[in-house]
Every structure is written in structure tokens, then in C-alpha cells.
Chain A
Amino acid sequence: MDRNRLHNQVASMRRSLFDQGYLDDQFIQLEELQDDTNPNFVQEVVTLFYNDSTRLIQNIEQALNSRPIDFCKLDDYMHQFKGSSSSIGAKKVTNECTAFREYCNAENAEGCIRSFQQVKQEHAILKRKLEVYLQTVTSFSNSMSCMETILSYIAYTIISSSLYIENMDKYGKLFGTTPQTELGVDKCLTTL
């Protein structure tokens, strides 16, 4: 069944994101905050992160390209970036941010430039992986919703049919049943 396959896919992708160190426990916090009242919480927070981080990356690029390099400003930007990434549990990204800040504190321009490449790389890799993962989660949720709707409809049909059969005498007098109708309902119930 498609649903089972999707479920396995979601579970496997998720496990891999944690096993390979892309995500840490903080991401689980996000997942725990998602519920019926906040059905897209994880996606929303991840989107906020990528909006924030895209802007910060531009700022950092500019700061790295200016001469002389303002290491204080660089550190500020990276501090914000790291805060953001740790909020969503982006483990590898956060680690690269830490490395960057060490170069920054040492006022090592070359180190900063190299390190920043790593930050951007991890940032991009995680973005792709999260996009695919969250898309798969959404597909699975949608398939669940479909199935729930179908099951609800079937349950409704069974219940209303049961009620009809229990009260067939009464309904028969009101609406006038035919043997075909009674047979039809019976068949339906048997099939279900």
C-alpha cells in the first residue's frame, strides 16, 4: 500500500537525518510542538529559519568582502545565525558556525572565509534534505487525511444503515420499502 510505503519512507528519512548528525534533539522539540492546533509548526519554524539565515548569509558575505574586515560585526551576524540554527536543531550548521566564530575571534580572515564556505554548504545541504523530508511528511499526512475521510464515511454509512435496519418497520411504514431496498442494504453491510 502507498500509505505504508510513505510511512516507512518518512521514518527512514527522519532516522537518517538524526543518525548522520544533520539534526539534534532540538528538532524533536519542534515536532513535539506540532499538533492539531499547529499542524504545520515544524514547516513554519524551518521556513522562518531559512528566511532569517538567507538574509544573514548576505550580510556576512558583504562583511567578508569589505576591507578592512569588521570582525565584530561578523561575529554579531554569526551569533544570530548560530542562534537561529540551534533553534531548529540544525546540528552540522551550528557546529560550522562555532568554528567560524573561533576564526573570527582570532581575527583570522582566511580562516573565516574558508569556514564560511562550510557554513553555506551545510546550510544548503540541510535545506534540500529538509525540503524533501517535510514534503514526504506532508504527502503522508494528506494520505492519512484521505483515508480518515473514507473511513469516517464508511463508519457513517454503517451506523446509518444499522439504524435503518433496526427501525425498518417504522421507516417502511413512513417511506415504503421494497424487498430490493432491504436486500441492497444487507448486501452493502456484508461487503463492508
Chain B
Amino acid sequence: MLEGKQDGHVFKLPKVILLAKNITNVELEKAKAAGFADTVIMKPMRASMAAACLQQVLGIGKKRQAGKDMLNGSPVLQGLLCGKKILVVDDNMAHQRVFAGALKKFGAAVECRESGKAALKLLQLPCCFYACFMDIQMPEMDGFEATHPIRMMESKANEQMNGGMDEDSGRKGWMDVSKPFEEENLYQAVAKFFKSTRSNCFT
């Protein structure tokens, strides 16, 4: 969670994770340039992927046993997500349901929305969501467009926290994870990603 102060009020912004069925290089570059999301992961989403991704994005517990199924394990993640509000944004009902089900397994309180527009209403400050999983490819407003206002808010927060000097424009970089997907690959990719952007991490 990123915390910041604006006019004396404390507000929190959720981590944003974009989902994609397949991402072209053009889209990936666009995403990287925009720096609008904390990470990108590929659909269909598995519970273990969601768990691994959240664990890394939220900066907790890098230790894990290789090959162990994370779905029923990861008490750290269970503890972290228990009761936390997570927003899932996907126009595909079946996928939305699977995703929400996976997160609920970890005790999260999940809300679902089918469009970027509807999601934005919930993501206005003060925001009560701990993290947001958003589909990159939706009609009307895609994941990039929807996260733009969120990141504008974050930039503003950064400016204020840094006393007016916005050193990195809220840029966190992107992580590309492609199919077929193995949990081990995710961890390696994410570890590498976080190593290179360590200075920009807010938790």
C-alpha cells in the first residue's frame, strides 16, 4: 500500500496488477512507458499465480519451497489478505468468478466490477482497497486507461511526500509474464524486477 498525505488527510492507494490474455510487444512497451501498473500477469489466472504475484508486489515473504502448491499454503499471504478488500475488474464473468474465488481462498474480501469506469468510482480517494487486479483488454476503457487516473493520484502523492520533487513520476516499471506459466518463473521474474526497481518501491 502506498500512503500519502494530502491536505492533512492520510490516504492509501492500492497496488494495481494488470491481467492480459496475451500482450503484444507494442502493448507491453506502452505499458512500460506509462508506468501505470505495478505488474502485468497473464490470463487465465491461477490461484497460485495470484498468490505468488500478490506476495511479491506487496513485498512480503520471498522464501518458499520450490514446487509446493501455494493454493492451500502460504499462511503469510493468508494472514496478509484476510479481511482485506481487493478489487477485481474484468468484463469476462467466468474469469471474474474464478479470480474472486481464488482471492477469497486467502480470506480476502473481494469486490468485482465489469468495467474500468465502474472500477474507477470505487478507486477514488479515500480508497479502501488493498490491491486491484485489472484486465488489460476490456471494451470502453482498458486497463491502461483506467489506471491512468490512479497513477496521477499516486504521482501527486509522491510529489507531496518528497516535498515537491517528484523523482520518479510514480514509475515502477513493468513485469512481463508470459504463458505457459510456472510459479517458479514468476518468482524469478519478479525477484529480478524488484531488484532493479528497489529504490522506487513503496509499501
- Partner-B contacts on A (CB < 8 A): 26, 29-30, 32-33, 38, 41, 44-45, 48-49, 51-52, 76, 79-80, 82-84, 86-89
CB-nearest residue of chain A relative to B179? A86
Distance, CA A30 to CA B97, complexed state (A): 10
Please tell me which stretch of B28-36, B43-51, B118-126, B157-165 contacts chain A, meaning at least 4 of its Cβ atoms lie within 8 angstroms of it.
B43-51
Q: Which residues of B contact A (CB under 8 A)?
A: 21, 43-44, 46-47, 71, 91-95, 97-98, 101-102, 104-105, 137, 139
| A80 CA / B43 CA spacing, docked (Å) | 12
The 9 closest A-B pairs by CB, nearest first: A87-B95, A33-B101, A49-B94, A48-B94, A87-B94, A48-B93, A86-B44, A87-B44, A83-B92
Q: Which residues of A contact B104 (CB under 8 A)?
A: 38
On chain B, the residues within 8 Å of A33 by CB distance are 47, 98, 101-102, 105
A52, B44: Cβ atoms closer than 8 Å: no
CA distance A7 to B102 in the complex (A): 27
Q: In the complex, are the beta carbons of A87 and B92 less than 8 A apart?
A: yes
Closest Cβ neighbor of A76 among chain B residues: B139
Q: Are B21 and A45 in contact (CB under 8 A)?
A: no
21 contacts between A and B (CB under 8 A): A29-B47, A29-B102, A32-B47, A32-B71, A33-B98, A33-B105, A45-B94, A45-B98, A48-B97, A51-B93, A52-B93, A76-B139, A79-B21, A80-B92, A83-B21, A83-B44, A83-B92, A86-B43, A86-B44, A88-B98, A89-B44
> Which chain B residues border A38 with CB–CB below 8 Å?
101, 104
Contact A82 B21 (CB under 8 A): yes
* A25 (CB) vs chain B CBs: closest residue: B46
Alpha-carbon separation in the docked complex, A53 to B44 (Å): 16
Given A52-B92, A87-B94: 20 more A-B contacts, CB < 8 Å = A26-B44, A26-B46, A29-B44, A33-B102, A38-B104, A44-B97, A45-B101, A49-B94, A79-B21, A79-B137, A80-B92, A82-B21, A83-B21, A83-B43, A84-B93, A86-B43, A87-B92, A87-B95, A88-B94, A88-B98
A80 touches B91 (CB 8 A): yes
Cα distance, A76 to B44, chains bound together (Å): 17
CA distance A128 to B50 in the complex (A): 31
A73 → chain B closest CB, angstroms: 11
Question: Chain A at the B interface: mostly helix, strand, loop or mixed?
Answer: helix
Specify which chain B residues have a CB less than 8 angstroms from the CB of A44 in the assembled complex. Answer: 97
In the complex, A41→B100 CA distance in Å? 11
Q: With the chains together, A33 CA to B47 CA distance in Å?
A: 8
Chain B residue, CB-CB nearest to A94:
B44
The distance in angstroms between the C-alpha atoms of A79 and B20, with both chains bound, is 11
With a cutoff of 8 Å between Cβ atoms, the chain B residues found around residue A41 in the complex are 101
Minimum Cβ distance to chain B for residue A99 (Å): 15
Cβ-defined partner of A29 (8 Å) among B46, B91, B92, B93: B46
Known: A26-B46, A29-B46, A29-B47. A87 touches B98 (CB 8 A): yes
Give Cα A83 to B92, complex, Å: 7
Contacting residues, chain A, for B21 (C-beta < 8 A): 79, 82-83, 86
